[in-house]
A and B are shown apart, each in its own frame.
Chain A
Amino acid sequence: MAPAMSDIMTPDAAELAKDAPGEGRAPLAEGTAEHDLFIGLARLGDNTLILGHRVSEWCGHSPVLEEDIALANMALDLIGQTQLWLGLAGEVEGAGRDADALAFRRDAWDFRNILLVERPNGDFGQTLMRQFLFDAWHAPMLTALEGSSDDRIADIARKAGKEVAYHIERSADLVIRLGDGTEESRARMQTALDTLWPYVGEMFIGDVTDARLASAGIMPAPESLRSAWDASVDQVLAEATLTRPESTFAHKGGRQGRHTEHMGHLLAPMQWLQRAYPGARW
């Protein structure tokens, strides 16, 4: 019988935190500016971490060598951005946790990524569609963040923006080629779109933390990115001859730490080494 998640997670993070220097200090109080900023940064960094990990699962399995390398490049871009976002989150938190500690020694409910990025890869079309739907949000998000009142955030957004400009160019082009492709590829892309559609709404639903970050000019309100996203998604779907689903139903909760059953299965292989050998280096 496969071990249950609770078995894998023992010894738990609190026990490990006691051993790690500087960790385990009092957490930031909810509602403070520091806590808001920490959550905002975790939402950014967890999106790129979890999507980066998902994309990296293709390494060695892509349909062709060229795509394999392209996907690995993109996964590395996303993990690199994660280091910056979570590194800054750890700094803001001031409890001695660095990007690695946040990535590898938090439990599922501490992650703040949207549910879309933890969706399993499915077929190649589903992976590309997920990437495109995310990129179409990621690009305007980073553009908005370049104008953040926090210079550290603006700097990271400028650097990541160049990478993401390429990501969306690539994912949009492939969605168009496969959508407006053969009967088979078109059917797969439409299925991918229909399957992932209930997970796009979460990107644009803000909470009180978002509202405070937006009013401080630190991060844009999630709702404000909708029109840019709609415009680029509609244009690409039209070129791809795909039909935009009409439903506005949105699964949500990821940004508040409530994840789908896929999250634990993703974290287990991603975190096991640091869980089994805390602080291991190479």
Chain B
Amino acid sequence: MSNEWPLWEVFIRGQHGLNHRHVGSLHAPDAELAMRHARDVYTRRNEGVSIWVVPSSEITASAPSDKGPLFEPSNAKVYRHPTFYDIPDEVGHM
């Protein structure tokens, strides 16, 4: 429908989370209202301390049909996981 408000993607950083995480989408006529709607729709249960809204049209997504060429090659490359050597305890949390 042409008279529907544009779609926005909503990202929220939780109380203790380090990164903003995608939580969903909503419709809004502009960024200011998208922010307000995001607050009303996605932080009702005290979920967040920071909100990002991005026009969905600004997101470039990988095509589902490209799944094979894009992701399958890394399937068989277990050596890319850093699990073949021991990390000394003194290093601590990485």
Contacts and interface: CB of A to CB of B under 8 A. Distances in A.
A70 B27 contact: no
Interface string A18-29: 000000000000
A44 B28 CA distance: 34
B36 A64 contact: no
A66 interface: yes
B44 interface: yes
B36 A70 contact: yes
A65 B27 CA distance: 9
A66 B27 contact: yes
Nearest to B44: A73
Nearest to A66: B37
A70 B37 contact: yes
A226 interface: no
A170 interface: yes
B26 interface: yes
A228 interface: no
Interface string A55-67: 0000000001110
Most buried by A among B33, B40, B41, B44: B40
A276 interface: no
B28 A66 contact: yes
B6 to A, nearest CB: 12
Interface string A159-181: 00000000000100100000000
A173 B86 CA distance: 58
A69 interface: yes
B40 A69 contact: yes
Contacts of B32: 173
Contacts of A70: 36-37, 40-41
Interface in A40-88: 64-66, 69-70, 73
B5 A64 contact: yes
Contacts of A170: 36
A66 B26 contact: yes
A205 B88 CA distance: 76
Q: In the A-B complex, list the 5 residue pairs whose CB atoms are closest, starting with the nearest.
A: A70-B40, A66-B37, A69-B41, A69-B40, A73-B40
12 contacts: A64-B5, A65-B26, A66-B37, A66-B40, A66-B41, A69-B40, A69-B41, A70-B40, A73-B40, A73-B44, A170-B36, A173-B33
